[in-house]
Structure 1
Amino acid sequence: MPRKVIAIDGPAGAGKSTVAKELAKRLGYDYLDSGALYRAAALKLMTAKLDGDASDDKIMEILKDTHIEFSNGKVYLDRADVSERIRTPETGHYTSVFSTKKVVRDFLQVLQKAVGNTADLVAEGRDMATVVFPNAYRKFFITANEDIRAQRRFNQLNGKVSFTDALKDVRERDKRDSERTVAPLMKAPDAIEIDTSNKDIETVLSEIMRELA
């Protein structure tokens, strides 16, 4: 029997991870944080001393023997829990860099689709509704203005970077995500857009639940 997938896309700092996690909990669905998978892949490539100039062949040479799993809110890279290690600013930077690579996106898309075949799912990321799950049961695009997204990023990193650096990071990510050749960030034509700038989590979830009713 086909599984239901609710696909949630949006830019960095829009709040989609928080929304997706809570929505999955309320619906009794599994939750897929695609960004965590990309961070794990970036961590593996960083550890192998690769950077954004690495060839597709070099990247695939590393990824072909890589095992990445997202389970119960934790991320495993080659069966080691890397949930904390993938959240550093450096890993975030390289995640944005490596996510522009088709070879990386193709590798992870296989993993994501496999998860969607095993359980009802709330999947969040940058291209869940447009590329990975184009036939999703429902689609949402979560956004917010860049200053608020930068403040959320600043708070998330507990002052490890300045607000100015957090804003710069948000702008750079937006540019890379929207301008990349492969699977650029965009709102799916049939996705419902929700701006979280001045809304708390309960308000956003109430809007989504009304759409799902």
Structure 2
Amino acid sequence: MIVVIDGPAGSGKSSTAKAVAAKLQIQFLDSGALYRVATLIFLNADKDYQTFFDRLEESKISFHFKDGKFHAILNDQDVSDEIRSMEVSKHVSDVASNPDVRKYVNDLMREVVKSNVYIADGRDLGTAVFPDAALKFYMVADLETRAQRRYEEVRANGKNVTLEEVKQNITQRDDTDSNRSSDPLKQADDAILVDTSDMTFDEQVAFICQKIEQLISQQKT
């Protein structure tokens, strides 16, 4: 079974999904991290798309969720911290908008979730990747709230960045994600809207856990 949380950058998708996974003892899949791994490969290829696609096909990408953290592995190296840099953030939307990159990452995710119960977060999981997901959420928050959250996350990882830089990055990513020709960011018709602007973290985790537990209970009856 797959449960998905979509929404714009900084809306709280990843942190919420990880907390839900830990609380319900299910697996967590961070689709955004996988696109960041692809972006890291792109940057290491000096932003040359031909070299990038050659390296992408040759690369070994894996991941696991352990002790509350999603670990992204590239060619047997843990790049979980490296993919959170501002340089990766500046290019991830452009790389992720490429149809060939999206197919590569989507195929990787679909193969993984064939077994076990997963909760995943991303931009288009409920509309393009897993349209038949058992449960879909679309998480939003106002720009100021999202920028502050991402700023604190980046600073906690030791990166030197200003709040204004983070806000500009999120605004640019919103525009790119919403207007890309391939699988643009949008709410699935059957997704549950969760506005976290005025919700505490514990409240949003509890809300989603309750919905999942209700579904599991219904499936057992």
Q: TM-score, normalised by structure 2?
A: 0.89
SS of the counterpart of 1:155? Answer: helix
Q: Is 2:144 the partner of 1:147?
A: yes
Identity of aligned residues (%): 35
The 1-side partners of 2:99 and 2:13 are apart by: 24
CA deviation after TM superposition for structure 1 residue 210, in Å: 2.9
Equivalent residue number for residue 60 of structure 2:
67
Answer yes or no: is 1:166 the counterpart of 2:200: no
Q: Distance between the aligned counterparts of 2:153 and 2:206, measured in 1?
A: 24
Looking at structure 2, the residues matched to 79 and 110 of structure 1 have their Cα atoms a distance apart, in angstroms, of 20
Task: Give the superposition deviation at 1:62.
Answer: 2.1
AA matched with 2:111:
A
Aligned residues: 206
Partner of 2:46 in structure 1?
A: 49
| Superposition map of 1:1-213 within 5 A | 4-50=1-47, 54=49, 57-72=50-65, 73-158=70-155, 160-212=160-212, 213=214
| Residues 152-198 of structure 1, C-alpha deviations (whole Å, 9 max, x = no match) | 12111217222211111110000000000001111000000101111
Deviation at 1:34, TM superposition (A): 0.5
The residue type equivalent to 2:61 in the other structure is I
DSSP 3-state at the match of 1:7: strand
Q: Could you tell me how far 1:58 is from its partner in structure 2?
A: 4.6
Give the Cα separation in 2 of the matches to 1:49 and 1:90: 12
Once the two structures are superposed, residues 25-70 of structure 1 have per-residue CA deviations (whole angstroms, 9 ceiling, x without a partner) of 122211000111111111011101125xx3xx55432211111112
Q: Aligned-pair RMSD on alpha carbons?
A: 1.3
Relative to total residues, which structure has the larger helix share, 1 or 2? 2
Amino acid at match of 2:187: K
Matched AA of 2:58 = D
1:64 aligns to what SS in structure 2? Answer: helix
Displacement of 1:209 after TM fit? 2.6
More off after superposition, 200-209 vs 180-189:
200-209
Flag as ranges the 4+ runs of structure 1 deviating above 4 A.
Answer: none
